[in-house]
Amino acid sequence: MSLDQIELPASEDVFNAAQNIAGMVHQTPLLSSRQLNELTGANLWFKCEHLQKVGAFKARGAANALSLLPEGVDEVATHSSGNHGAALAWAAAERGIPCTVVIPENAPKAKRIAVKGYGAKIVTSGPSLGDRESTLAKVLEETGAHEVPSYDDKRIIAGQGTVALEVLQQSREQGIAPDVIVAPVGGGGLLAGVGLTISALAPDILVIGAEPAAADDAHRSLRGGVHITTQQPNTIADGLRTTLGGRNYAVIERTVRDIVTVSEAGIVNAMRLLWTRTKQLVEPSAAVGFAAVIEHNARFRNKNVVVVLTGGNMDLDKVGPMLSSEEN
Amino acid sequence: MSLDQIELPASEDVFNAAQNIAGMVHQTPLLSSRQLNELTGANLWFKCEHLQKVGAFKARGAANALSLLPEGVDEVATHSSGNHGAALAWAAAERGIPCTVVIPENAPKAKRIAVKGYGAKIVTSGPSLGDRESTLAKVLEETGAHEVPSYDDKRIIAGQGTVALEVLQQSREQGIAPDVIVAPVGGGGLLAGVGLTISALAPDILVIGAEPAAADDAHRSLRGGVHITTQQPNTIADGLRTTLGGRNYAVIERTVRDIVTVSEAGIVNAMRLLWTRTKQLVEPSAAVGFAAVIEHNARFRNKNVVVVLTGGNMDLDKVGPMLSSEEN
């Protein structure tokens, strides 16, 4: 599909999204830590989207999409191995309409439990993107449900962009002047939304994406100038295994300065530091932005840096044992 | 020692402590969770002392004690298997005086690392109270340091009482009318401080202690009316294995309505719920108050309940594996 065939979101869509979802989602706090500032030599503010409804920023996009459903739609569906599934299930329940989520068999158990908890119907598929899409196609055909994709969607990108709107508002209120905003990138819903918003309202702030080196399609796409749509991801950051969407790439190419990559050990280390120093339970994907501040420290040192913590949902029995106490 | 020989703190000591430690410690937030309210049928506010300096309310007592040192004291020492050691090390470092902490060999590694991180000298002792006390006696003799006990101390009780002062102030500001405050009890520094403060300023609020059934000396002392000073604790809540202090018992007997006990499974379940629903990394001892709300639900249902989350320091590789994802 070429760019002129797909509809890209504009900054107005983000402003509208903020109104559409007001009252449904939380304004999440900005958190700082003297210890982590000392460790990184930067002034860090963490935007706490793990404290968002459903424990992830995905509630924003889903709530916005549900507020913008086409006339006559009374049922929704998606495929998701992660937080988007729970977010759509939650948003549909809030509006009282049925929801089906196709979940691959290898998804984290905690994320499946969340979808079930919000009352959505679960259909299990094979692990590949092809498996997920063909299973969803069948669901759409059988139910007549409307698909709400997890990232390559104008409504979703606009909804996730409200994170950046809030950061700008809170920065003003708290007298913070951010130099940089760092957000993880998987499918690119959040990063595109942040880029779109910041480039429109505060173009002097750099927007930097952070991606696991073991799932670096967005990094290679942006650096090479060609949208890469295949990869074999092998990262603990389960929320970032997807490839960058078409709309997402188009927006990111225009609004995001760079995408840097981080190692798997760097992600675990960043997560351990966030857990032990801030006592915030963030999932592996959510630690990727902070990992970038550590592993690419020269780019962030002596700067005011907002790092988006994206979510806090995981299988604790899998993640906990990785975080053995460090010895000084 | 009989009661008339020990000096008990008064509510004025708490008011003074608040002034002594202002600027050194954080005003920690009150946090609520719709999911946990629905689960318990109560309106809960969690007082987030795991977000306090050194990750525990113990910073308050230590900071207060350091502000009230006798003339001429220029070095402090204590024995502690937990957060008091880190708190004293931190408070001493803030004031630039040397500190020695006697740590039993079986203490959590994370707590030892914290003490070291704040620059205190560590002396390792055997695990029993006798071992700890005799090792500390030797340290005091050799260094001439002044002992700051971890709970059976007027300055410490008054410092911990500032938690309750803050809760009252925040409740007023936020339009909350608490019916009950629940706090865990080990040595009783926190519970005595809370009882003292609430009985003086808001005697219509019930103060309830929560204790592991596997370390229930305070429960038995209060119910039986006789201070029990021996027990064989066997609980995951490592911060609550100590027996109730003399001053602590005297204050608690006068100001605390009841102390209820919770099971080990209940503590793990409460900790899992706090981690997964609020994304707050609280240590096992800190989950004991919430465990009480669940296991003694009839006493809390339909009430406005403030639950003190006491700390967030633990060995993640030991605690993490206990928290396998629940299946609904």
So what's the pLDDT on residue B326? 58
pLDDT-based confidence at residue A5 (cuts at 50, 70, 90) = low
B30 in contact with A, Cβ within 8 Å: no
Inter-chain Cβ pairs, chain A and chain B, closer than 8 A: 80
Q: What separation in angstroms does the CA of B297 have from each of B55, B262, B302?
A: 28, 12, 10
So what's the pLDDT on residue A318? 81
pLDDT tens string, chain B, 328 residues long: the values are: 455 557 899 999 999 999 999 999 999 999 999 999 999 999 999 999 999 999 999 999 999 999 999 999 999 999 998 899 999 999 999 999 999 999 999 898 888 999 999 999 999 999 888 999 999 999 999 999 999 999 999 999 999 999 999 999 999 999 999 999 999 999 999 999 999 999 999 999 999 999 999 999 999 999 999 999 988 899 999 999 999 999 999 999 999 999 999 999 999 999 999 999 999 999 999 999 999 999 999 999 999 999 999 999 998 888 877 876 554 3
So what's the pLDDT on residue B328? 36
CB contact under 8 A, A325 and B315: yes
In chain B, which among 239-278 make CB contacts under 8 A with chain A?
Answer: 272, 275-276
B316 in contact with A, Cβ within 8 Å: yes
> Could you report the per-residue pLDDT of B281-291, keeping only the tens digit for each?
999 999 999 99
CA distance A190 to A152: 11
Q: How far is A31 from chain B (nearest CA, A)?
A: 11
- Give the Cα-Cα-Cα angle B116, B117, B122 (nearest 5 degrees): 10
CB contact under 8 A, A55 and B113: no
Q: Which residues of B286-312 are buried (b: 16+ CB within 10 A; e: fewer)?
A: bbbbbbbbbbbeebbeebbbbbbbbbb
So what's the pLDDT on residue A328? 36
> Could you report the per-residue pLDDT of A148-170, keeping only the tens digit for each?
999 999 999 999 999 999 999 99
In chain A, which among 36-55 make CB contacts under 8 A with chain B?
Answer: 50-51, 55
In this prediction the pTM is 0.91
Closest CA to A310 of A218, A233, A210: A210
Q: Which residue of A has its CA nearest to B50?
A: A279
CA distance A216 to A233: 8
Q: What separation in angstroms does the CA of B160 have from each of B84, B194, B196, B248, B314?
A: 11, 7, 10, 12, 21
Please give the average per-residue pLDDT across A230-253, as a whole number: 93
Q: How many helices and strands (H and E) does chain B possess?
A: 13, 10
Best mutation target among B46, B48, B281 (most A Cβ atoms within 10 Å) is B281
Helix (H/G/I), strand (E/B), else coil: B153: coil
Please give the average per-residue pLDDT across A124-146, as a whole number: 95
Q: How far is A325 from chain B (nearest CA, A)?
A: 6
A113 in contact with B, Cβ within 8 Å: yes
Residue B247 CA, distance from chain mean position = 15
Out of B113, B282, B328, the one facing A117 most closely (by C-beta) is: B328
A119 in contact with B, Cβ within 8 Å: no
CB within 8 A of A260, min separation 6: which ones? A208, A209, A210, A211, A219, A292, A295, A296, A299
DSSP class per residue in A178-231? -SEEEEE-SSSHHHHHHHHHHHHH-TTSEEEEEEEGGG-HHHHHHHHTS-----
Phi-psi region of A225 (alpha: psi -120 to 50; beta: other; left: phi over 0): left
Q: Residue type for A230, please?
A: T
Using only C-alpha atoms, chain A has a radius of gyration, in whole angstroms, of: 18
A232 in contact with B, Cβ within 8 Å: no
At B183, give phi and psi (nearest 5°).
-135, 140
- Per the CB < 8 A criterion, the answer to whether B64 and B327 are in contact is no
Q: Which residue has the tokens 């991180």?
A: B117
ipTM for the complex shown: 0.87
Residues of chain B contacting residue A39, judged by C-beta atoms under 8 Å apart: none
DSSP A321: G
CA distance A114 to A314: 10
Closest CA to A142 of A97, A213, A77, A51: A77
Q: Residue A199 above 60 pLDDT?
A: yes
- Per the CB < 8 A criterion, the answer to whether B260 and B247 are in contact is no
B94 in contact with A, Cβ within 8 Å: no
Q: Which residue has the tokens 């609280």?
A: B282
So what's the pLDDT on residue B327? 45
Q: Which residue of B has its CA nearest to A273?
A: B316
Q: Residue type for B270, please?
A: A
Tokens representing B262? 């919770």
So what's the pLDDT on residue A326? 58
Q: Residue type for B205, please?
A: I
The full set of domains in chain A, from first to last, is 3-57+153-322 (3.40.50.1100), 59-147 (3.40.50.1100)
Using only C-alpha atoms, chain B has a radius of gyration, in whole angstroms, of: 18
> Could you report the per-residue pLDDT of A37-74, keeping only the tens digit for each?
999 999 999 999 999 999 999 999 999 999 999 999 99
DSSP class per residue in B170-211? HHHHHT---SEEEEE-SSSHHHHHHHHHHHHH-TTSEEEEEE
Strand partners, B182: B208, B307
CB within 8 A of A117, min separation 6: which ones? A86, B328
- Give the Cα-Cα-Cα angle A85, A94, A111 (nearest 5 degrees): 25
So what's the pLDDT on residue B53? 96
> Could you report the per-residue pLDDT of B158-171, keeping only the tens digit for each?
999 999 999 999 99
Best mutation target among A271, A325, A326, A328 (most B Cβ atoms within 10 Å) is A325
Please give the average per-residue pLDDT across A304-313, as a whole number: 97
B117 in contact with A, Cβ within 8 Å: yes
CA distance B264 to B255: 27
